[in-house]
Structure 1
Amino acid sequence: MFIVKIGVLSLVAVCLSYCSGRTNAAGEKLSCRSMQVEGGYGYVVVYGADTLIYQPYIPAIGEKTAFTSEEDALKIGTLVCRKLAEKQPPTVSREEIVENLPSMRLPAAGR
């Protein structure tokens, strides 16, 4: 478990250093895109041609559930993208999901 945490922290550090508001040689910037997945939608955060985050499920809810709409996936993906641009960790809490998607019914916490 400790090794997994170190790996995740390393990935976040690389993402943050890579996405420090710079553009690549082609002038491309950090962006978020929706994607259709089995059962709904997810999102990807890209920097130029590089995929930084591939998120096929709603984060922070404790189960593998896709977003029901493209708009919902983009709301959370845009939040993650903004955090990266502001040099914050790209994590999303359950509270942020509820705050940004108030009509979404989430499973009970702690499952």
Structure 2
Amino acid sequence: MTCANSCRLRKMIRMTRTGALQVASLLFLTGVVSFTACRQKQESKQPEHQHTTVTAMQDSIAVIPFQLENGGWGYKINIGPKTFIEQTIIPVIMGRKTFQSKEDALKVGECIASKMRKGEGRFPNLTRQELLDMKIAGVE
């Protein structure tokens, strides 16, 4: 009698382990599917930048000059599709002067982007002397 009870008990334990494994697998699968669905929904809700005329690849660095309301110029540095730096005034100098031309904004933006590409940091330094060497209008 003990052997019969023991055999039944072993069979029940095996069935219980199999059932528990199936339930755990089902829960894991449900979690993965839910996570993936939520992640896709969040990515689709992110706004697209419709006003950007330059498209950049995922790891590329692009400089985009733009005109300000007051008539001056600034630049953006995008890494991939996202704006990383938005510069509306001439950096380094005293006061809050905007770039006087699109070309000046582009020159300074390209200088910063070049330093970023060379690995000089996420926010590379720019000196007043570099601005003078580039002949940026408004820098004395």
TM-score normalised to the size of structure 1?
A: 0.66
Quote the residue 2:102 is aligned against.
Answer: 70
**Residue 39 (structure 1) shift:** 3.7
More strand by percentage? 1
- Corresponding position: 1:32 with 2:63: yes
Structure 2, unmatched stretches of 5+, are: 1-56
Quote the residue 2:88 is aligned against.
Answer: 56
CA distance in 2: counterparts of 1:68 and 1:50, whole angstroms: 25
Quote the residue 1:98 is aligned against.
Answer: 132
CA distance in 1: counterparts of 2:113 and 2:79, whole angstroms: 10
The structure number with the bigger radius of gyration is 2
- Percent sequence identity is 30
**Residue 91 (structure 1) shift:** 1.9
Structure 1, unmatched stretches of 5+, are: 1-22
**Residue 63 (structure 1) shift:** 1.2
CA distance in 2: counterparts of 1:65 and 1:105, whole angstroms: 7
Greater RCO (CA < 8 Å, at least 6 residues apart)? 1
CA distance in 2: counterparts of 1:54 and 1:62, whole angstroms: 18
Per-residue CA shift, 1:68-104, capped at 9, x if unaligned?
00001000000000000001142211111000126x2
**Structure 1 residue ranges (4+ consecutive) displaced by more than 3 angstroms after TM superposition:** none
Q: How many residues align?
A: 81
TM-score normalised to the size of structure 2?
A: 0.53
Per-residue CA shift, 1:41-91, capped at 9, x if unaligned?
011100111111110000000211001000010000000000000011422
**Residue 29 (structure 1) shift:** 1.1
**RMSD (Å) for aligned C-alpha atoms:** 1.6
